[in-house]
Structure 1
Amino acid sequence: MTTSVQAQVLAAVAKIFDNKVPFHNLLGMDIKRYDIDGIEVVVNMKQELIGNIHQQILHGGVTATVLDVVGGLTAFSGLVASRDDWSMEELQTRLQTLGTIDLRIDYLRPGRGEQFTGTGTVIRAGNRVSVCRMELHNEKGDHIAFGTGTYMVG
């Protein structure tokens, strides 16, 4: 699979996650970048995402959701990059069974900010299971949370 085909596959996956998943739309998730080298998922703060009304901070469940989505997409890009002979049918089947096995979130500071960006890296890309590290930062670069996720990719 050439780099351009990999890019096409990941662009199609990003479009699905950006436009077709109702919960992602409810939260306002926006995939700004998704390629073999990384991912950026952005959520803009809005009243509906506040978890602590006294401190006006992002709900921890939103943080966990963004990191989980970033982790799943990161795991899938690691899978796509792991071989150059994937068929589109194989990748579609793998995408349909992509799921979270385990997720750990460490909340480092309150979710204050106007815009939050989730990024991810692959720790281990396996044929069946992948492990990823994810981070969430606000627009000032403050590290809000990080996570480690284990994902079923096959």
Structure 2
Amino acid sequence: MTQNNTDTTVLLDSEALAEIVVNMFSEQMPFNQLLGIKIDKLSADKVEIRMPWSDKLMGNPFHKILHGGVTASILDTVGGVTAILHSIKGIGEISVEEFQRNFSNVGTIDMRVDYLRPGKGNEFIATAEVIRKGRKVAVCRMELHNETGTHIAFGTATYMVG
């Protein structure tokens, strides 16, 4: 983070911007807080989201499994965060205002979820990777596992990033 000599605009590097993104998704989005997700940024290309089991997230009370919408939500979140972080990697230094202007239209264009097994577990871990990134869109592949490594679902999504 540096300060521009000509005015009081604070310029942020990609690492500082990444912290803003992670904070926004984990602390400023009420739905993500409702889900109980915790975001760990492991690198510019690696994000991991952890979510503990809660009976409030149950889709099938007879089998105590995760609701499919919750599965899709955590996959979408990890994909979106990963797409944004990949997009700001190497961006150089920009102001928060410029970052907000450039990334104000970030959103999910399309997403497909394949449910492989019932969502059973005490904790769920979502990861994502960028498959392809262009100037305006990024395509990510996401996975959801439980704490024992059982693969519950995967998804592919396209995100508007520019």
* Both structures adopt the same fold (TM-score exceeding 0.5): yes
* Separation in 2, partners of 1:96, 1:24: 19
The gaps in structure 2 that reach 5 residues or longer are 2-11
Mean CA deviation greater in 104-113 or 70-79 = 70-79
Task: Map 1:60-79; keep pairs closer than 5 Å.
Answer: 60-79=68-87
CA contact (8 A) 2:105 2:160 kept: yes
The counterpart of 1:87, out of the listed 63, 71, 94, is: 94
Q: CA deviation at 1:34?
A: 4.9
2:110 maps to 1:125: no
* Separation in 1, partners of 2:76, 2:42: 15
2:27 maps to 1:19: yes
Q: CA deviation at 1:93?
A: 2.1
Alignment RMSD (CA, Å): 1.7
Calculate the TM-score normalised by the size of structure 1: 0.91
The structure whose Rg is larger is 2
CA contact (8 A) 2:65 2:119 kept: yes
Mean CA deviation greater in 88-97 or 119-128 = 88-97
- Percent of paired sites with the same residue: 48
CA contact (8 A) 1:104 1:148 kept: yes
CA contact (8 A) 1:80 1:86 kept: no
* Separation in 2, partners of 1:64, 1:86: 34
Q: Deviations over 1:112-153 (max 9, x none)?
A: 000001101000111101100000010000111000000001
Letter of the aligned partner of 1:144 in structure 2? I
Calculate the TM-score normalised by the size of structure 2: 0.87
* Separation in 2, partners of 1:12, 1:34: 15
The counterpart of 1:10, out of the listed 15, 18, 39, is: 18
The gaps in structure 1 that reach 5 residues or longer are none
2:144 maps to 1:145: no
Per residue, is there more helix in 1 or in 2? 1
* Separation in 1, partners of 2:102, 2:151: 32
* Separation in 1, partners of 2:25, 2:42: 11
* Separation in 2, partners of 1:73, 1:108: 23
Q: How many residue pairs end up in the alignment?
A: 151
Q: CA deviation at 1:45?
A: 0.4
Q: Deviations over 1:72-113 (max 9, x none)?
A: 1111111112x4436234432233211000000000100000
Report the 3-state secondary structure (helix = DSSP H, G, I; strand = E; otherwise coil) of the residue aligned with 1:65. helix
Report the 3-state secondary structure (helix = DSSP H, G, I; strand = E; otherwise coil) of the residue aligned with 1:97. coil
Mean CA deviation greater in 88-97 or 54-63 = 88-97
